[in-house]
Every structure is written in structure tokens, then in C-alpha cells.
């Protein structure tokens, strides 16, 4: 597995936590677990990269590591083809 962009994800997480703290938002009440919060951060970062103009493939690879989008895409296509048989 390629190396995820942990630095980018940690920076986004810190921004969200700082914003929540500055505005009296209790993140623990919004997310049922730490993992759900981290999933939201990953989604936020991917969506933001796409929103600012990166193609989906580039946004996904930026977050998850080089070549990871292709693996995901190929796996989905392979499952689609198996279901069509």
C-alpha cells in the first residue's frame, strides 16, 4: 500500500478541531467515534481537493498515496464485470 498523506490529514484535523474549539462546538457529540471523525476528515480533504479543481484521481492519490485510485477503480470495475457475467 502506498503511503497516505498523513501530514495533510493531520493539518486538516487540526484546523477542524481548532475551529470547533474556537466556536464552542463539541465534536464528541457530533461523531459517534474517533474513527467516524477521522473518516469525515478524510472525506473533507478529498472533497476539498476536488472542489478546488483537482481531478478525482489526483485528489484520491494525494490523500491515500500514489496509485491507490487506480487500485480502487480496477477493483470496482472487476466487481462490476463479475456481477455482469
Q: What is the pLDDT of residues 59-70, one digit of tens each?
A: 999 999 999 999
Q: pLDDT tens, 20-47? A: 999 999 999 999 999 999 999 999 999 9
For residue 1, is pLDDT > 60?
no
- Domain extent listing, the chain: 6-84
79 CB-side CA count, 13 A:
5
Query: Which pTM value belongs to this model?
Result: 0.83
Amino acid at each position: 500500500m502506498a503511503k497516505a498523506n498523513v501530514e495533510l490529514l493531520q493539518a486538516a484535523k487540526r484546523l477542524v478541531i481548532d475551529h470547533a474549539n474556537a466556536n464552542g462546538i463539541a465534536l464528541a457529540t457530533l461523531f459517534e467515534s474517533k474513527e467516524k471523525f477521522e473518516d469525515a476528515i478524510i472525506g473533507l480533504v478529498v472533497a476539498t481537493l476536488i472542489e478546488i479543481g483537482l481531478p478525482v484521481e489526483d485528489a484520491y492519490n494525494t490523500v491515500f498515496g500514489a496509485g491507490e485510485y487506480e487500485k480502487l477503480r480496477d477493483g470496482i470495475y472487476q466487481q462490476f464485470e463479475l456481477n455482469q457475467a
